[in-house]
Amino acid sequence: MLVVGSAEPFWIPFRKRLHELGYIEGKNIVFELRPAEGKQTLLPDLAAELVRLAVDVIVASQTPAVHAAKRATNQIPIIMAPAGDPVGTGLIASLARPGGNVSGLSANATEIAGKCLEIIREMLPKARRVAVLANSTDPFAKPFLEELQIATRTVGFDFQTIMIRGAEEFDVAFGQIDREQVAAVIIQPSLRPRMPAIDLARKYGLPSVSPTSSFIEEGGLMSYAASNTEQFREAAVYVDKILKGSKPADLPVQQPTKFELGINLKTAKELGLTLPPTLVARADKLIE
């Protein structure tokens, strides 16, 4: 398993689902965990290590990890858990017929990137400028930003794009954001670890939004995304199919059909924000 950040959020629901499917660690399955802990420059070496171990399947979580795995091997099956815009970033040929050695789950985050802007507009009806903190090492950054650009025409924001390579650049990035006098910040999910960015957003009094469901649990203000837990569990189902003889090329890629709005009311209170009652009432998940 190859993950961009910490393995724990992925590992717990994934392993539980495999256990439900009859896999018991040490008896009929062995796991090799390779978390990059937010240091994305480690991903190629970690992927190469898994290839040298001749694992039966590589499960890679988030777009940079999937691309690293694909560059490392075109033979070992790779399960996306998930990846953003896998067709647009060249991971697969199509959702219905992926081809090659990659299948799994699409994060569908291009479509929901614009939803983040809509939520900010509802929260801050008079706001005019939003910052987007994007991951320059992530192939998904391009379609992610393109979708936001399209959405700004409808929502009516100007937005400032700040491209960074990782957490070591957060301090400089937020200094720039502060000078731009933006009303809120959108943080791309593959920027890990996210906690320093979330802490800086609170320090500068900025509402933060991200299209990943775990964002509010780490202290971010709002998220709009498919359930990470359900996607991690579904990745286990793909692994089961591969181990029973299915080929990735023949397994259609799944897209999420249900999306959840999450709000951290503790963070809202810390920022001195009074959120519209209609927005709070629509939330699928609240942290109080």
For the chain, the structural domain boundaries read 2-107+228-250, 109-225+260-287
pLDDT computed for residue 10 by the predictor: 84
- In this structure, which amino acid lies at residue 103? S
Q: How confident is the model at residue 110 (pLDDT cuts 50, 70, 90)?
A: low
Residue 181's CB is within 10 A of a number of other CB atoms, namely 10
CATH classification of 109-225+260-287, choosing from 3.40.50.300, 3.40.50.2300, 3.90.1150.10, 3.40.50.2030?
A: 3.40.50.2300
According to CATH, what is the number of the domain 2-107+228-250?
3.40.50.2300
Q: How confident is the model at residue 9 (pLDDT cuts 50, 70, 90)?
A: confident
Q: Give the tens place of pLDDT for each residue, 205-231.
A: 999 999 988 899 999 999 998 888 899
Residue 183's CB is within 10 A of a number of other CB atoms, namely 17
**Cα Rg, the chain, nearest whole Å:** 19
Global pTM value = 0.88
Topology match between the domains 2-107+228-250 and 109-225+260-287: yes
Q: Are 195 and 139 in contact (CB under 8 A)?
A: no
